[in-house]
Structure formats: C-alpha cells, structure tokens
Chain A
C-alpha cells in the first residue's frame, strides 16, 4: 500500500519503514516553534522538568509577534522571558522586532521551513507550512517543552482527505475564497484530526501566497495539517531561500484516502464568512448591505506582499469611507520594505489607511484595532469567533484582501466590481 505525502513525511521522521493512519508515532521534529504567548509556558515547563539545553539550537525557533512590539507591561515581560531564553540557549532563529514579523509568514520567507520538513508550532496556524509540501501542525506549550527536551513529538498519523481543485478562478477570487468556500462546505470540524491534501489542475495556477492562505486555514476545519504537493511554483519559491537540503515528496498513486472531495473552483465567487464561525461563508452576491466600522488587512493568513498589491490596486486614487477605519499590517519586515519600495505604502496612506508595523495585533484581539460594543469589521484574518477581536458584541466578517479593500472604500461589505 502506498502512502500519502503526509504519511511519507511522518514516516521519514521515525525509524519506521511505513506508517498508516491511526498509528501513534514519536517523530523527530525539524522545527519547534514558539511565540511570545506560548513559549513562556513551554520555557517554564522545560525548566520545571530539569531541562538545561534545548535539543538543537538550530531547530528551535522563537518569534515575538502576537503582542509584539510589546503592547503593555505584561506582554513586555512575556517577550523578555522568551528573549532571555533565546540568548541563554543561543537560539539561531530568534527574530527580534525589526527583523521579524508574523511567524508563519516569516519562516517560509527566511527559508527556515523547507519542503519535506516536520514542523510543530505552539500556535494553531502552524499548519501554514503545508503550502511548501512540509508537515506543519499546531500543538500546545507543553508539547513544545517536550520538543525542547527531546527533539521529538508524539502524534497519531492522520487519515487524509483529498481535495481536487479544478476549473478557472473568477476575477477577484483568491486562495482565501477557496478555503472559506471549502470550510463552508465541510464545516468547522469537517476535517477533525485529519490531513487535508490539495491537488488538481487548479493548484498549478495558485501562487505560493494563495497556497499559504489555504494551508493556514485548514485548522478552521479542524484539520491536523493541510498540504500541497511541491511543484515548480514551490521550487521557485524555496530555491533562493534554502540554506540546507530539502526533499520534494509526492503522494503514491495507490495511497489510501479517507475521502475525495471535488471542488469546481469556477463556481466560487469572493466569499464572506459571517460571524461567529469561519464556516458561515457565502458568496459576495448573497451579502446584503452591511455597514462596517473597520477593515483589517494583515495576519498570517493574508498579510503577504501579494495581498498588499491587490489592496493597493483597489485603493489607488480612492479614499476610505469617512466612518470606516482601514488598518493594514504587512506580515513581516521584508514585506513592509517591499511595500514601501513598490509605492504601496504611499497608496495606503493617501487612501487614509493606517499602516502598522508587523504584528498579529488585532487578529486575536491583542491591540492595534480592537472593536467596541456593536462594532463590525471585515478582516482578512482567520477567525470570526465571538469576542475574537474585541467586545463580545462586536462582529467579524472574514474576507479576502480584495473585498477588505473595496469594503473599506464603500464603508460596507462589497466587491471591487461595485467601485
């Protein structure tokens, strides 16, 4: 029996000849990632268990991004705990504010994660790395502490659901719309504990940015990981970034799948996921007049340069509606610099948008755009749960950068075609 790409990666990180769904394995990890919210607990657990040196200082990655730059004294203390640990342990991949950004945009950009890798991250969106043909899964802080100690992680080999994407994408449709559509179809636990593998003819038309967005949100369907088979687009992306060897894997033709889901992408229009679940998605044509107080473009889901270019294309020569606040957050320092060079930042500022330094910030209700009682926002982020971005009576509508930019101009949820 053949193996899926997910099974192959997991297998290569054990001493086993083959693995199959349901097996409990102890896998060696290539990257163990933590951030300013989750690493402090992991560090405390590591010390409590008598840990003195991490298993490999090149394989532990620490990124202050959630409440960094420090939003208050308490966050400053958490960042300090992580910074001092990184210094003490001589962690190679510690990224200080000013060289950093949102972890899941930063690591691929810096070539820290490569195809074939096994990544565990104490952050639920660690599934993003599947876009590269790597295995990435979110875990908790104690898991991270265990990885610091042993370099290994217990896991159950997941069953894989195959999503076959075909058809041509409509104008303004992006990776965000595809994944919101799929989550809408299968539900927030539609892929619980499973791998989501994306294949089909349309995949070759998807940019790396689209793939990162899709893999990023598989957790919103409950999945353990999402994964793309690496192809020329992947290779082009990693070739100049990689500083070590990587492995391009494929699923075997006779690999077993839990199920195969056919997705005709040509039927998908730009999506809007209504509060309070990412699965409440519907086409933009089905959205009535919803006035918005805020629009956020950023996050590990949609803060990449491609996202900012789409926003700039729509915002150029236009102004944000007077009653609406537009907050744009490049996901990394490099993206910010590129946006400056390309003149995107000027377009944003001329449109009366606020441009922030990279941070997860408002996505998880940290800072830099928190909502008041009754306020509504569109956001290119990943979750629209109750209270996620502020007051429990505020509302989040998840959209693509194109819809977020157009909606900011109109002051209501709408498509760029209406401008």
Chain B
C-alpha cells in the first residue's frame, strides 16, 4: 500500500485536512471514504505507506477519522510521519492474516495489544521504542520539542 494509493499526487496542491480526508485511499478503493465510519481501523500487510514522503498520507487517514493503522510493517518515512503528526500506528505480525473486512477489534494503545472480538484472541503489538512511545504520548514531534524546551 503505497502513498500514491493513500493520497494521489493530484491532491497534493493542498495540505488542508478537510480536503484531503475526502480522497483518502481513493486510488486503492474509490468507495473507501463512503464505506468507512469514524473510529474505524485500517489493518494492513507489509511495507504500508511506502513511496513518497508526503505527510498528506497520514494527514488524510487521520482526518478521514481512522483511529489507528495496524500493519505487519511500515515503510520508514510513513512510520516517522505518523508518530510525528499524531496518527497512532502499531505493528502486528499476525493480525493481517487473522481478520477480514468488517471484523470488530478492541485496541489498547497504552498496553500495546489488539483483541479480535469474533474469537476473543489477543495479539501483542511489536513493542514501541521508548522514544516512539514518548512521541505518541506527547502528541507528536513538535509538541515533544516544545515540552523539552519548556523544561
């Protein structure tokens, strides 16, 4: 799932979340935005967010109302972007192979696990680096820097 699919370049003439949200995942599934509901979770396979460094990709996902993304692995720029701008993302090697569209999940971002309600199974996320945890808890990189400066 590359960033061109998440938000095509034809929409990069703006960085307004209120415009980008309507085009989230458009080239992967043109009906994505109309099918999803606020709070939904994206579950994905390997290398999610590969390609362009465009922060418009996590911006559009967050603005569309997705609560978090859980993938087998993330491309590195998308990974930093998400922590930097405050989109919660987690790595789970198993989840992608255990769920299908429409399944209900419970996520505990603090304890770093996800539960599939259909069978009650719990999967631990790959442990976050303490610095990534800090970024997530501080609400992104700029807030983290501001906090550091205030000390």
- Which residues from chain A sit less than 8 Å from chain B, CB to CB? 24, 37-38, 40-41, 44-45, 48-50, 66-67, 71-72, 74-75, 77-78, 121-124, 126, 138-143, 145-146, 149-150, 154, 156, 188-189, 192-193, 222, 224, 364-366, 383, 385-388, 392
Query: With the chains together, A45 CA to B143 CA distance in Å?
Result: 10
13 contacts between A and B (CB under 8 A): A41-B56, A124-B53, A138-B77, A140-B54, A142-B141, A143-B81, A189-B46, A189-B73, A192-B73, A365-B10, A383-B52, A387-B4, A388-B4
Q: Mark B82-94, 1 if CB is under 8 A from A, else 0.
A: 0011000000000
Residues of A contacting B4 in the complex (Cβ-Cβ under 8 angstroms): 364-365, 383, 385-388
Q: Is the CB of A142 within 8 A of B55?
A: yes
- Asked if B145 is at the interface of the complex by the 8 Å CB criterion, the answer is yes
Residues of B contacting A139 in the complex (Cβ-Cβ under 8 angstroms): 53, 77, 80
List CB contacts (< 8 Å) of B1-52 with chain A: 2, 4-5, 8-10, 12-15, 27-28, 46-47, 50-52
Q: Is the CB of A365 within 8 A of B9?
A: yes
Q: Is the CB of A149 within 8 A of B145?
A: yes
B68 to chain A, nearest CB (A): 18
The verdict on A78 contacting B53 (CB below 8 Å), with A24-B129, A49-B146 known, is no
Residues of B contacting A122 in the complex (Cβ-Cβ under 8 angstroms): 53, 55
Q: Is the CB of B55 within 8 A of A41?
A: yes
- Asked if B75 is at the interface of the complex by the 8 Å CB criterion, the answer is yes
Q: Is the CB of B15 within 8 A of A40?
A: yes
Q: Which partner residue on chain A sits nearest B132 by CB separation?
A: A24
Query: With the chains together, A364 CA to B56 CA distance in Å?
Result: 14
Query: With the chains together, A156 CA to B131 CA distance in Å?
Result: 10
The verdict on A142 contacting B12 (CB below 8 Å), with A49-B142, A149-B145, A385-B4 known, is no
B22 to chain A, nearest CB (A): 15
- Asked if B127 is at the interface of the complex by the 8 Å CB criterion, the answer is no
Query: With the chains together, A149 CA to B50 CA distance in Å?
Result: 27
Q: Is the CB of B73 within 8 A of A44?
A: no
**Chain B contact residue count (CB 8 A cutoff):** 37
Q: Which partner residue on chain A sits nearest B47 by CB separation?
A: A189
The verdict on A140 contacting B47 (CB below 8 Å), with A37-B54, A364-B9, A387-B27 known, is no
Q: Is the CB of A146 within 8 A of B142?
A: yes
Q: Is the CB of B12 within 8 A of A37?
A: yes
Q: Which partner residue on chain B sits nearest A158 by CB separation?
A: B76
Query: With the chains together, A216 CA to B134 CA distance in Å?
Result: 32
Query: With the chains together, A122 CA to B5 CA distance in Å?
Result: 19
The residue that B13 contacts in the complex, of A41, A49, A74, A142, with Cβ under 8 A, is: A74
Supply 9 further A-B pairs (C-beta < 8 A) apart from A24-B131, A67-B13, A140-B80.
A49-B146, A78-B14, A142-B55, A142-B140, A142-B142, A149-B145, A192-B47, A222-B50, A364-B52
The verdict on A140 contacting B77 (CB below 8 Å), with A38-B55, A78-B13 known, is yes
Residues of A contacting B14 in the complex (Cβ-Cβ under 8 angstroms): 74, 78
